[in-house]
Chain A
Amino acid sequence: MKQFVAFVRKETKHILRDRLTVLLLFSVPVVMMLLFGFAITTDVKNVRTVVVTVYSDHATQQAVERLSQSEYFTIVRTVATPREAERIIRNQKADLAIVFEKDYASKNGGLQFIVDGADPNMSQQWTTYVSQVLMNPAGGLINTKMLYNPQMKSAYNFVPAIMGILLMLICTLMTSISIVREKERGTMEVLLVSPTRPLLMIVAKVVPYLVLGFIILNFFLLMARFVLDVPLQGSVFWIYVISTIYILLALSLGLLVSNIAKTQLAALLVCAMILLMPNFMLSGMIFPIESMPRILQWASVIIPPRYYNSALRKLMIMGVGVDQVVFELTVLIAMTLILLTLSLATFKKRLE
């Protein structure tokens, strides 16, 4: 036991004496949370609009007034022909043009929207908004309710995802590199001739990262709650339970990588290319899984953050009970057990 504590202390010092890494460990989560919480939004706001009209009559003026009063649209220019409007859009000086036909006032119609279709989602949203502002659709026929996220903040969707990715990055990447570095530098040999059992040594290497994972988890939850105003609707206890399992999973993955990789560079690249890219793309973090082709949907079944995301979204944002996340919980436990067994089985006591 004393040996074990000594090893944990040694490893902790390894981490703490690398000032830059410590700094990064805390600034990366802060910056990511702030970026995703505030800067990354898909709200319709400040859409640059060109008005195309020949006769500036009363009805047209009223419509333009209504547009410029809404926070969604900013009128940048008024031109006479659609061709001019198209040129402005191509030069990226505007996103949307509204063409008022000559008969707009008389027949109360005759509108055309010319939209920069480069971004399909946003262009459809702009059209929906502009027609709502201009045409005041027969109010009262539909009553829409946005559940769980009435203001439609992007942070609600991103925060659980960011937690999943960053915990994975920190626990897997850092553990595997710290083990491989000792192999590469040759200090592993010194450790292996010490009277400690090799397995104990590896476990001691993992412990500081486990603690680190927890510190970062707490940090995340506090920031989400108090800086980004993301609610913690569900039971905090279960959020911790599922996060603990996830951190253990990431650590076992890190061990597995360190058993396979021979150099730091290889460990880095394995983590970055083979783990992070698929995690980022297939976990449903930004890109919805159900819009992907079937084969990629199947591939996403083995991506751990997918389950963590889904469970955290349910627990944190939707605030449902734990019986709704039993499936995610089971899958994560099973994955952890498999990875742990694999990494222990491939663990070699001897240097080659």
Chain B
Amino acid sequence: MNTTLRYLVQKEFTQIRRNSFLPRLIVTFPIIIMCVAPWVMQMEVTNIVVDVVDLDHSSQSQRLVHAIEHNTYFVFRGQKHTYAEALSDIEHTDADVVMVIPRNYSKDLVRGRLPQIRIAANAVNGMKGAMGAAYLSQLVIPQSASSSTLYLYNKHLNYKLFMIPALLAIVMMMMTGFLPTLNIVSEKEAGTIEQMNVTPVSKGTFILAKLIPYWLIALFIITVCLLLSWAVYGLTPAGPLWIIYVLSMLLALFFSSLGLIISNYSDNMQQSIFIMWFFVVILLLLSGLFTPTRSMPHLAYLTTYVNPMHYFVDAIRTVFIRGGQFRDVAHQAFALLGIGLFMGGWAVQSYKKNS
């Protein structure tokens, strides 16, 4: 039993190594993603281009214009004479927000009359429009002194810190998900599966031997990703490292099993890739990785209870950013284990030795 398994694992590794493309992919993909993606995955709203229509021409209104010019969130585009002129800038997407300062703004302020400043934001991207308008309002009305805000865990509101645990999840998903998906189906297409089917190797051993290499690859990938996040961005997990490894291995168990299941059921690579892609997109988008799960409609929110990606993203953010201990993420870890074992069993079940 043990020697069979060892030989089979050795065979899998040889197959991966002899492929001209896979070893290079396994090494370079995590490196490229970790070096490039954190710069891309910025949903930080900055560089909002502002047009100002100053109908007042007072020192008060000019002070507002200067405040915009010196604020790092904004790029001041220029002053326009009319609202229509500024609107045409928005239509060309040359500007994002227009601020109109009304006539007699400073006089009315002095008389205590509440003059209205109009802000019009391009809200095609709702998030950007809302944040742009909110930043501008804060400039006009300074925050009252009686309240203060404390941001926990991510004091500088660094978007990279939020995204790097998520990237770890994405890289794991791509590598331990897509490679097994292509594995059995490519043996089917090449015809080598026939030879496996006539050996006395049991289904369980065969599938286990297919899975083990991907777990080892997963270990390698997490290590590379964590090292890069420390070396390139200076970000290290706030919680214990071993939990991150445990969580990642559980995720690898799920995705490699899912990959093999799909591979078992499909006839050619094109099919299997499409199905995997389909699952990956759904799991990813509903995991709360990009958008908060609590904003979803109730029905969509219910799906997060069976979405392993959701448990993983939740848990790894708790450990990496918030410095959670094992008891903080225990229920996510057990959920992942449960789903992973179920999928593993299914992978063994769905492999048929007779064609």
| A residues with CB within 8 A of B | 18, 20-21, 24, 27-28, 31-32, 35-36, 38-48, 86, 89-92, 95, 107-125, 127-128, 131, 135, 137-138, 140-150, 152-154, 156-157, 177, 181, 264-266, 268-269, 272-273, 281-282, 286-288, 290-293, 296, 310, 313-314, 317-318, 320, 324
How many residues on B have C-beta within 8 angstroms of the other chain's C-beta atoms?
A: 91
Query: Quick check: is B195 within 8 A (CB to CB) of the other chain?
Result: no
**A5–B270 Cα gap in the complex (Å)?**
26
Q: By the criterion CB–CB under 8 Å, are B137 and A318 in contact?
A: no
Q: By the criterion CB–CB under 8 Å, are B323 and A114 in contact?
A: no
The listed residue (B43, B117, B266, B278) touching A286 by CB distance below 8 A is B43
Residue of B nearest to A103 (CB): B146
Q: By the criterion CB–CB under 8 Å, are A113 and B150 in contact?
A: yes
Contact with A along B99-126 (1 / 0, CB 8 A): 0000000000000001111111111111
Q: By the criterion CB–CB under 8 Å, are A286 and B151 in contact?
A: no
Q: By the criterion CB–CB under 8 Å, are A144 and B151 in contact?
A: no
Chain B nearest CB, measured from A93 CB (Å): 10
**A111–B40 Cα gap in the complex (Å)?**
36
Q: By the criterion CB–CB under 8 Å, are B294 and A113 in contact?
A: no
A112: B residues at CB distance < 8 A: 147-150
| B residues with CB within 8 A of A | 21, 25, 29, 36-37, 39-47, 90-93, 114-131, 133-134, 137, 140-141, 143-155, 157-159, 161-162, 178, 182, 186, 266, 269-271, 273-275, 277-278, 281-282, 285-286, 290-292, 294-297, 300, 314, 317-318, 321-324, 328
Residue of B nearest to A320 (CB): B91
Chain B nearest CB, measured from A264 CB (Å): 6
A-B contact pairs, 24 of them (CB 8 A): A20-B266, A24-B278, A31-B282, A107-B146, A113-B150, A116-B322, A117-B153, A118-B154, A123-B154, A142-B137, A144-B118, A144-B119, A146-B123, A146-B129, A147-B90, A147-B121, A148-B124, A154-B126, A265-B21, A288-B43, A292-B42, A317-B124, A318-B91, A324-B91
**A265–B185 Cα gap in the complex (Å)?**
11
A40: B residues at CB distance < 8 A: 285, 290-291, 296
Residue of B nearest to A131 (CB): B147
- Would you list the 6 A-B pairs with minimal beta carbon distance, nearest first? A109-B146, A152-B126, A117-B151, A117-B154, A120-B157, A146-B123
Residue of A nearest to B39 (CB): A293
**A286–B166 Cα gap in the complex (Å)?**
15
Residue of A nearest to B186 (CB): A265
**A144–B273 Cα gap in the complex (Å)?**
47
Chain B nearest CB, measured from A342 CB (Å): 23
B291: A residues at CB distance < 8 A: 40-42, 154
Q: By the criterion CB–CB under 8 Å, are A42 and B295 in contact?
A: yes
**Given known A41-B291, A156-B126, contact A118–B153 (CB-CB < 8 A):** yes
Q: By the criterion CB–CB under 8 Å, are A117 and B285 in contact?
A: no
A264: B residues at CB distance < 8 A: 269-270
The listed residue (A48, A122, A127, A268) touching B269 by CB distance below 8 A is A268
Residue of A nearest to B128 (CB): A288
Chain B nearest CB, measured from A61 CB (Å): 18
Residue in B37, B123, B275, B281 with the greatest tally of chain A CB atoms within 10 Å: B123
**Given known A116-B153, A120-B44, contact A35–B292 (CB-CB < 8 A):** no
B47: A residues at CB distance < 8 A: 290-291
Chain B nearest CB, measured from A177 CB (Å): 5
Q: By the criterion CB–CB under 8 Å, are A121 and B41 in contact?
A: no
B266: A residues at CB distance < 8 A: 20
Q: By the criterion CB–CB under 8 Å, are A118 and B321 in contact?
A: yes
Q: By the criterion CB–CB under 8 Å, are B294 and A45 in contact?
A: yes
A48: B residues at CB distance < 8 A: 294
**Given known A46-B295, A143-B118, A145-B119, contact A273–B29 (CB-CB < 8 A):** yes
